[in-house]
Amino acid sequence: MKEFFSSIPNRWKAVYLIWVAVNLILLIAGGQSGATRNKFFPFEGDLGVYDIEEFILFLAIPIIIFLILKFWNKDKIKNKQKTILKEKTDKSNELNKSIESSKENWVDISPKKQPKWGWGWYILAFIVFAGVNKTYEYLGDNKGLLFLFGISICLIVYFYCRNRALTKISNINLRSLTAGIISLIITVVSISLLSFFIVKIPIGADTYLSELSKTISNETKIVKAQLDERLSDFKKLQSELIIDPRTEEEIKNNIRILSQEMYINKVVDSISSNFYNKIYSFLYNAEKRDPNKIKESGLTSELVNSLINKLNITTSRYQGLNTALINYYNAYLLNSPNQDLLWERYENKQKEFENVQAEYYEILGRFNVLSLRD
C-alpha cells in the first residue's frame, strides 16, 4: 500500500486533495437533511440536493478511474520506469564525470527562499466566512464573533503546519494544501464547540424572530418538495383503493395498497418531524435570550413540541387503523369467525384516529398562522 501510494505523482495527489476540499465545501454549503433523495446533483435539482451520497460517490470516481488506468497501463509504466532508471543512471555517470573534472570551478549557490505567505490563506478566510455565515445564520450579529475566532484559529494552524509541522513535504503547493485541510478541520470543530457558549449571549429577540422566519421559509421549500412527491404517490394509491371490495382479488389489492400507504405515512412523518425539530431548537434557544418576547409572539417551543408529539400520535393511530383493516381483510379471506370482532376493532381505531387527527390539525393551524406572520 505504501509503495502504491508513493507511486502516485505528487501533482495528482494535490489535484485529488483539491477535489476533496471542493466537495467538502459543497457538502457544507448544500447538504441538507431535508434534501430530496431520489434526485442527483448536478443533473437534478440545485445545490440543496447535494448530500453525503454525492460526496462519497464523487470522491470515489477519481480513485476508480485511476485504478483502471493503473492496471491498464501497468506494463507500459514498468517499461517506462526501466527507461527512466537507465537514463538517470547514464546522466548520473555523466554528472559524476563532469563534477570530477570541474571541482575547481564550483561556486556556492544558496537555496531559494520559500514564499512566506502565499495565497492559500485568502481561500481559507473565504471558506471560514462563508461557512460561518451560512451555518450560524441564526446567531444574527453574534456570528461575527465566531468568524473572528474561526479565522484566527484557521490561520494560526495553517501557517504553523505549513512552515513548521509539515516541512517534510518538499512540494510547497502540496504542503500548503495539506495544511489548509488540517486547519479547516480543526477550525470547524473549534467553532462548533464555541457556538454552544455564544448561544448564551443575549441578542434582540426581534432579530431572532426575523431569522426564524427566514429559517422556516427556507426549510419549508425543501420539505415541500419532498412532501409533494410523497403525497402525490399517496393520492395515486388512494385512487386505486376499492371502497367496497367483493372479490378475493380486490381484497388483496386493498391489502397491498394499505401496506404501501403505511410506508409512505412513515416517511412523511419522518420528514415533518425533522422540520418541526429544527424549529423547536431554534425557538428553544430564542427563549433563553428573551422569553417574554417569544411568549408574546405566540410561536413558542412548547407549541412546536406539542405539534411534534401530536404528529407522532397521529401517525401511530394511522398505522394502527390500517393494520386493523388489513387484519379484517385477511380474516375475511380465511372465512374466520372473528370477522365481526375485527371489523368492530377497525371502527374503534377509526374513531381514535379521527379524534387525534382533528387535534393535530388544530395545533398545526395555529403553528401555520403564527409562523407565517411577519
Is residue 255 within 8 A of residue 207, CB to CB? The reply is no
Look up residue 69 and give its three cell numbers: 488506468
Sign, CA dihedral 229-235-239-242, equals positive
Cis peptide bond prior to 115, omega within 30° of 0? no
Name the H helices within the chain.
2-6, 10-30, 52-72, 74-101, 120-135, 143-160, 172-198, 205-240, 248-289, 291-297, 301-333, 339-371
Q: Could you state, in order of their start, the residue ranges of all structural domains in the chain?
A: 2-91, 120-198, 205-371
Per-residue pLDDT of the chain (374 residues; tens, 9 = 90+): 556 566 677 777 777 788 787 777 777 766 544 444 455 555 555 555 667 777 788 788 887 877 777 766 666 666 666 677 777 777 777 766 665 665 555 554 554 455 555 667 778 788 887 777 777 765 655 667 777 888 888 888 888 888 888 888 888 888 888 888 888 888 888 888 877 666 444 444 556 666 667 777 777 777 878 788 888 888 888 888 888 888 999 999 999 999 999 998 888 888 888 888 888 887 787 777 677 777 777 888 888 899 999 999 999 999 999 999 999 999 999 988 888 999 999 999 999 999 999 999 999 888 888 776 64
CB-count exposure of residue 125 (10 Å: 0-12, 13-18, 19+): middle
Number of alpha carbons in the 13 Å side-chain half-sphere of residue 306: 15
Residues in the chain: 374
Residue 147 · residue 113 · CB < 8 Å: no
| pLDDT at residue number 119 | 66
Best CA proximity match to 226, nearest among 42, 28, 41, 48: 48
pLDDT at residue number 38: 54
d(CA 160, CA 315): 54
Supply the pLDDT for residue 36: 45
